[in-house]
Structure 1
Amino acid sequence: MIETPEFAPDIAGALNWARARIAIVDARILLRHVLQCSAARLAAYPEARLEEREWSEFRSLVERREVGEPVAYLIGEREFYGRSFMVGPAVLIPRPDTELLIELALAHFGDKPRTRVLDLGTGSGALAVTLALELADADVTAVDRSREALLVAMANAARLKASVSFVLGDWFSHLGGDRYQLIVANPPYVAADDPHLSEGDVRFEPGTALAAGPQGLDDLAAIAAEAPRHLEAGGWLFMEHGYDQAAAVRGLLTDAGFSSIASWKDLGGIERVSGGQWQGRGESR
């Protein structure tokens, strides 16, 4: 392993030191964050010398990344659907696969004005804020059980100038009799004893936003069962789930009385979102 330079090196030297400890792509992101510069500038001036303060900050970030802390938490942001969202340990890091929920919402409601939208377990607010900005005059409500998560989501809404109403509560518990045309949810869906919970970036993310019972289906089941009471006739529910849960979730939707039930594949070809339409036939079973 390359020894740590005693004095602040140039950009090339800093990256050379870091690449012996972490992935070079991560090192470049971290150094760009410290220097507040573009990728092109980083590549164009490898001889530019870091200030001592910059070198100290970069070393600290690399060392934290070396023990597994997510890059998104280290720089405080992650891109989702072309926008930068602030993130931190109180919320999950938005994943590209979750953008499938946005695509489905736009496919079903993109040409409809004033869609009433509910985002359950909003976390960073990535779904709620994006839908508020992408759907014409959408009326978006975002729910989360974590006060800390809601503060992050509210900050993202303010930063991106999105109109979203926020509710502190557990799923539907604080919504009264309100009904919506679209409900989206990216709930916890990992089995409680899944070994992946103790590996990689996931170790640093909030466990309550990841695990949901012995099979990872507890929250998905609760949402599917209760959603009909909060959907207008013809409304849709879309839920993200695990790679092997599509059939089980379709079963939950069938039991709850949904129709037009289907699953959709993510960028990796995995059935990642399942949903159905509520026709308004009385209450859920």
Structure 2
Amino acid sequence: MFKGLWQRWFGNSSEQKVNINSAETMAEYQPITKHYVFNETGNIMLCATADSIDSFDDNIKSAFMDVSIFFAAMTKALSSTENPVTKKPFSIFNYQAVKNMLASSGVFVETNVEEGYFASEGVGGALGAELIKTVLNRNFDDNQLSFAKGMLNGMGYQGVDEQTWASLEPSHQDLCRSGNIFFIGELLLGLPQTSAVLINIEPHSVDEDSGQMDSDHQSLFKLGLKNEKKHQSMGKTRNWKYKKRTYLFIPPRFFENNIARLGNVESPEFADYVKTLEQSLTPLCKQVKQNGTP
């Protein structure tokens, strides 16, 4: 019996062996077309293959609902906490605050950290679009990235000017680092997976070879505010240094059991979860107070 099964599964051992390293027998990778859509602020991106779109059932929607609830809770927790350095509320554009919150959330696992350079000669929304394409490593249509200019504006608002930055202690500078987070919900061949990409970018352009600030350095955020129609590119490509952290989202049983109540921002469960996230910012604020507020 076993011999018959063996021959059925693996063939006759006396048959001529196939060279698995032969180029003719190697499987060829064929990329599958993916479709992308962003929410209004650009912080949540859904990615799906064509066959997956047809089977977008309630179970799949629930898988992506978890991260939407976390995003809402995180945004509220950040805006409810004052940055002790800038005296302005934290936001999703504060790199260090979001990094601390992800690390303390219990639902995100860091899987990769990388550094690189982003290059562009554009201004305004075109500059923001180039940044998004670089950090997410995808060639989006610019029409999908209408939020790009607002993203740069929000990142700039969380920072401080160059003179103030130079006068701050390192621990205070950490609380003024601009960044952004992208939650990515993927549905590939019917299999859902959610990840997050957190970026931090140094605001002033640098020389890519030396990594030092350009002699005629420009602020990414100031260039991002310019109107593309009124400020044409001067043909000079500038480089900015960025850091990118990638996380895998693992929703706990807590989300599954409370998904309906957490979806209601007025519910006690949602308020308790926001409070839990707020507590992750306490060590940052205490550190500044111990060192003295600038």
Classify the TM-score, shorter chain: under 0.3
Normalised to the residue count of structure 1, the TM-score between the two structures is 0.24
**Bigger radius of gyration:** 2
Normalised to the residue count of structure 2, the TM-score between the two structures is 0.23
